Amino acid sequence: MALLNFALLQHFSALFIFLLVFVLLYAVLSKAKFFGEGKEGLYAILAFIAAILIATSNFTVRLISIIVPWYSALAIIAFFILLVFGVIGAKESDLGSVVKNTTLRGWIIGFSVAILLFGLAFTFGETLRQVGYSNSSQQNVTTSINQSFNQNPSGGNFSTDLVRTLFHPNMLGLMLLFLVAMFAMLFLTKPASK
């Protein structure tokens, strides 16, 4: 028996997501002041309504449950990287210049978009896959694709289909081509150092 068993907390995930959305949305609305000064009551009502709408949707609860741990891990990694820079003697101005670096921003945005896309894929992927198989007009295309993978169209699940697609030789070649093109653009557009 485990000392800390968090299995029962999964039943409260909608409540945790409600609180997360409410607090984050209220903070953003209060900071941005969309409706002017002194409208905190209005911001609280809007955040409360949005949090209820999000917490009552199974898809959004599942999506947020998938992506929040990854975004949290990304934030913790960034914090520890900044902590290591601080420990080795970097000044605040050095850290500010690192944070303002456009390459670092690009990586952070890239990781954020990748996390969101994987979250969307795992949330809606199986549903969209089943809808695709139920559509009779696309049955011939789906059957020929599945036969190329030696798979029964009704078998498997989204996760195995995703892994098979991502690690198919054609897809790996396309990823390598995109990677070469990305580095070519990066190095060709970089200003010359003096």
Determine, yes or no, domain membership for 2.
Answer: no
Among residues of the chain, what percentage have pLDDT more than 90? 24
- Distances, alpha carbon 125 to alpha carbons 64, 128, 188, in Å: 15, 5, 37
Amino acid at 73: A
Q: Are residues 68 and 31 in the same domain?
A: no
Per-residue confidence (pLDDT) for residue 35, from 0 to 100: 86
End residue of a domain, out of 114, 134, 154: 134
Q: Residue 67: which of 107, 104, 121 has the closest Cα?
A: 121
Instruction: Give the pTM.
Output: 0.62
Domain co-membership, 69 together with 102: yes
**Residue 32, in any domain of the structure:** yes
Quick one: how far is CA 156 from the chain centroid? Answer: 24
Q: How many domains does the chain have?
A: 2
Span 167-171, average pLDDT: 83
Range of the domain at 39: 15-56
Q: Convert the pLDDT of each residue in 106-155 to its tens digit.
A: 888 889 999 999 888 888 877 776 666 565 444 554 454 444 444 444 45
Only one residue has tokens 């209820």, namely 52
Q: What is the pLDDT of residue 148?
A: 44
The DSSP result for 161-194, as a single string, is HHHHHHTSHHHHHHHHHHHHHHHHHHHHHSPPP-
Do residue 128 and residue 69 come from a single domain?
Answer: yes
Both 103 and 78 in one domain: the answer is yes
Same-domain check for residues 71 and 92 = yes
Residue 168 domain flag: no
What is the DSSP secondary-structure string of the chain? Answer: --SS--GGGGGGHHHHHHHHHHHHHHHHHHHHTTT-TT-HHHHHHHHHHHHHHHHT-HHHHHHHHHHHHHHHHHHHHHHHHHHHHHHTT--HHHHHHHHT-HHHHHHHHHHHHHHHHHHHHHHHHHHHHHHHHH-GGGHHHHHHHHHHTT--TTSS-HHHHHHHHHTSHHHHHHHHHHHHHHHHHHHHHSPPP-
How many Å is the maximal CA-CA distance in the chain? 64
